[in-house]
Amino acid sequence: MDRAQNVDRLTEPFDVAIVGGGATGLGAAVESAARGYRTVLVEAHDFAQGTSSRSTKLVHGGVRYLAQGNVGLVREALRERGRLRRNASHLVGDLRFIVPAYAWWSGPYYGVGLKLYDLLAGRFRLGKSRSLDREAVLAALPTLEPEQLKGGIVYVDGQFDDARLAMALALTAADLGAVVINQMPVVGLLKEEGRVRGVVARDAESGREHTVRARVVINATGVFADRIRHLDDPAAVPTVSPSQGIHLVLPASFLPGAHALVVPRTDDGRVLFLIPWHGRTLVGTTDTPVAEPVEEPRPLEEEVNFLLQHTARYLVSDPSRSDVLAVYAGLRPLVRPPDEGVERTASLSRDHHVFTSPSGLVTIVGGKWTTYRKMAEDVVNRAAQVAALAAVPSPTAALRLHGAPGAARTSEVGVPTGPLASYGTDAPALQALVRAEPELGGLLHPRLPYLHAEVVWGARHEMARTVQDVLARRTRALLLDARASAECAPAVAGLLARELGRDRTWEAAQVADYRALAERALLSG
C-alpha cells in the first residue's frame, strides 16, 4: 500500500466512501471492494488506532451474553469466530479457558452453560468443553489460588492480534482495488440537494484538503460516529454511549502455560479474563461509562486497582503496580436506545445497528471485533440500497484475508508464534529483505521480539507513517513492554526517516511524541 499513490487516486469517482479505519470501517471496505464497488476508506489517524487495537483480543461468542440469554447473538458470533479462524488463520488461534470452581455448585452451573456454548457453535465448534478435577486445574494453571478450589471447566475459544488483523483487512481491501488512506480525517461532508455525495478530507501530513465524491458514505467512526452525524445534521440525535475498558499487561510468570483463566463474576458482575498473549499475561477488563469520547482515553485509578485486586484474589502471587509492563484503555461504541427521528435498521444481530439519515448518510455503531464481517455485510447491503448499486451477494464468508495461507489449519492452540508469524504469507518476503540488508536482521530491543526489518517493511508495505504506528500497531511493542518500546523509539525514528525521506527535526519530534505516549502506558508510583 503506497500512501502517495492512494492520495492521487482520491480524484476518482467512487461508489462507496467509508469514514473510519477501525474493525468496522476496514471490514466494510473489504466487503464493498469484494463486491466490485469502487471503494475508498479514509482514517483520521492510523488504522485501528482507536478501539480496534485496544480489545481483549478474543474472537468469541461471548459467554457473558449467553448468561444474559442472548442466544441469537452468541450463535452469530460463534459462526463468525469459525469463519475468521479459517480466513485469517495466521492471526487467529484457539485458546483453552478454565473457569475455576470454588463452590460445589459452580462447576455444574457453568458446565451446563458451556455445553450450550458448544452446541450453539455447531460445526464451528473449536473444541469440547469438559469438567476438570482440582489436580487437573492446578496442573494447567499452576499459579491459581488453590485454597477452597474444587475443580473447574475447560472450554475453547478464539484469540487474535487485533491491530494485525486490522492491517490484514486494510491490505485485503487494497488487494481488491480499494483506496485506503490513514492520517486523513474527514472534516466535512459534500452535500448536493440535501443528499450526501462524498466527503471533504484533510491530509494531516500535507494539510491539503481533498473533495472525494461517492454515491454513498458510510460513517464507521466508532465512538465518534455522532460527530460525523453532526456534520450532516447539527440536530442529529446521538447514537453512541461510550464505555471504557482497560487492560493490564503483566509478565508471563503470573500465568505461565497455555491456558487462560476466566473469573465468571467479578464484584461488579462482569467477566474477568487473564490471558496468555504474545509471551505476556493480559488482564481485563472494566466497564466505565464515559460522557465524551476522547482519542487517548486514560485508565482511571479505580479501574487499575479493581484489576489488581481481582487478579490478586485468584493468583498465589499478588501483582503490584511495578509488575505492570503496560496499561491500555479503549472505548466501546455501545448503541444508544433508538430515538425518534432516526430511522433504525436493526439487522440480524441486535448487537450492532445501522442508521440511515434523511441525507442518505449510513452510520454503523456497536458490535464487536468478532462480528466485524457480518456488520460489514449488513452495512454494505444498506449502502448499496441507498445508492442503488447493483445488488451483489456477499462474497466474504469464505474470503481468505491478506497473509492467510490458502488451506485451513486445524487444532492449533494459541496464536501462531515464532518470528514473523503474524505476517503470514508475507513472512518470506520479509525474510528476503533481511537477506538483502542483513543489518536489518537485528532485534529492536533485547526484551522485544521485533526486528529492524519490520520497521522498514511497515513503511514500505503497510503504510506506517509514525513511530507510534510501528511500535503500537504494526508490532505490539507498546503493549508488550512500554518502557522497552520507548527505548527503541530513536532507532525506529531513524529507520522511518530514511524510508519516508524525513529530516532530523521530524525524527526528534517523533521520538518525543512516542515517549510521551509510552509514559502514559506505564503506571506511576
Ligand X SMILES: Cc1cc2nc3c(=O)[nH]c(=O)nc-3n(C[C@H](O)[C@H](O)[C@H](O)COP(=O)(O)OP(=O)(O)OC[C@H]3O[C@@H](n4cnc5c(N)ncnc54)[C@H](O)[C@@H]3O)c2cc1C
Site of interaction with ligand X (CB under 6 A): 19-25, 42-45, 48-52, 54-58, 185-186, 220-224, 245, 285, 330-333, 367-370
In the complex, minimum distance from the CB of residue 81 to ligand X, in angstroms, rounded to a whole number: 9
Nearer to ligand X, 60 or 445 (CB): 60
> For 408, what's the count of Cα atoms within 13 Å in the CB-facing half-sphere?
12
Q: Residue 51 corresponds to which cell in the numbers above? A: 478501539
Whole-angstrom distance, CA of residue 442 vs CA of residue 148 = 48
In the complex, minimum distance from the CB of residue 57 to ligand X, in angstroms, rounded to a whole number: 6
Nearer to ligand X, 50 or 107 (CB): 50
- CA 349 from chain centre, in angstroms, equals 19
| Maximal CA-CA distance, the chain | 71
Chain length of the chain: 525
Residue whose grid cell is 492471526:
91
In the complex, minimum distance from the CB of residue 284 to ligand X, in angstroms, rounded to a whole number: 6
Nearer to ligand X, 42 or 433 (CB): 42
- The dihedral built from the CA positions of residue 374, 380, 384 and 385, taken in this order, carries a sign that is positive
In the complex, minimum distance from the CB of residue 43 to ligand X, in angstroms, rounded to a whole number: 5
Of 467, 490, 462, give the one whose Cα is nearest residue 478: 467
E strands, 105-258, where? 130-133, 151-160, 179-181, 186-192, 195-202, 209-219, 240-251
> In this structure, are residues 247 and 342 in contact, taking their beta carbons and an 8 Å threshold?
no
Of 194, 193, 186, give the one whose Cα is nearest residue 357: 194
Q: Is 146 helix (H, G, I), strand (E, B) or coil?
A: coil
In the complex, minimum distance from the CB of residue 167 to ligand X, in angstroms, rounded to a whole number: 13
Of 364, 201, 222, 399, give the one whose Cα is nearest residue 295: 222
The string over 154-193, giving b where at least 16 C-beta atoms fall within 10 Å of a residue's C-beta and e elsewhere, is bbbbbbbbbbbbbbbbbbbbbebebbbbbbbbbeebbeee
Nearer to ligand X, 245 or 403 (CB): 245
Whole-angstrom distance, CA of residue 395 vs CA of residue 382 = 16
Whole-angstrom distance, CA of residue 45 vs CA of residue 184 = 7
> Looking at beta carbons, which residue is closest to ligand X?
22
Whole-angstrom distance, CA of residue 370 vs CA of residue 502 = 38
Q: What are the backbone dihedrals phi and psi of residue 515, each rounded to the nearest 5 degrees, phi first?
A: -60, -35
In the complex, minimum distance from the CB of residue 215 to ligand X, in angstroms, rounded to a whole number: 19
In the complex, minimum distance from the CB of residue 217 to ligand X, in angstroms, rounded to a whole number: 11
Nearer to ligand X, 106 or 221 (CB): 221
In the complex, minimum distance from the CB of residue 250 to ligand X, in angstroms, rounded to a whole number: 17
Nearer to ligand X, 55 or 143 (CB): 55
Nearer to ligand X, 21 or 93 (CB): 21
Nearer to ligand X, 106 or 182 (CB): 182
In the complex, minimum distance from the CB of residue 467 to ligand X, in angstroms, rounded to a whole number: 18
In the complex, minimum distance from the CB of residue 182 to ligand X, in angstroms, rounded to a whole number: 9
Nearer to ligand X, 55 or 468 (CB): 55
> In this structure, are residues 477 and 471 in contact, taking their beta carbons and an 8 Å threshold?
yes
Q: Is 282 helix (H, G, I), strand (E, B) or coil?
A: strand
Nearer to ligand X, 22 or 458 (CB): 22
